[in-house]
Amino acid sequence: MNSGRFKNAINSEKIVLVNFYADWCVPCKLMDPVLEKVKNDLKNSIKIIKVNVDRNPFIAATYKIRSIPTLVAFINGSIYWKGVGLKTAREIKSALKKQG
């Protein structure tokens, strides 16, 4: 994903949750079913996209991603929540509801 496509993707009125990950990262793989649950629970109010930090280092650097997994929630292109490390579906949904 190039930076132009990324900026277009996060510039949405609905929540866009970006999962910054790497293929070699075991904790990142553990986040996949958690994010699937979040997506199923929140239905149409959220869009989840994945950004591989190894393939997209410029995007990762732009948003100061230092550890993975990192989740960053955007509305209208602006960051309003950032979570570093493994999170439960409950933690993610709670953070998004407080912020959204």
Catalytic positions, written as ranges: 25, 28
**DSSP letters spanning 46-98:** EEEEEEETTT-HHHHHHTT--SSSEEEEEETTEEEEEEES---HHHHHHHHHH
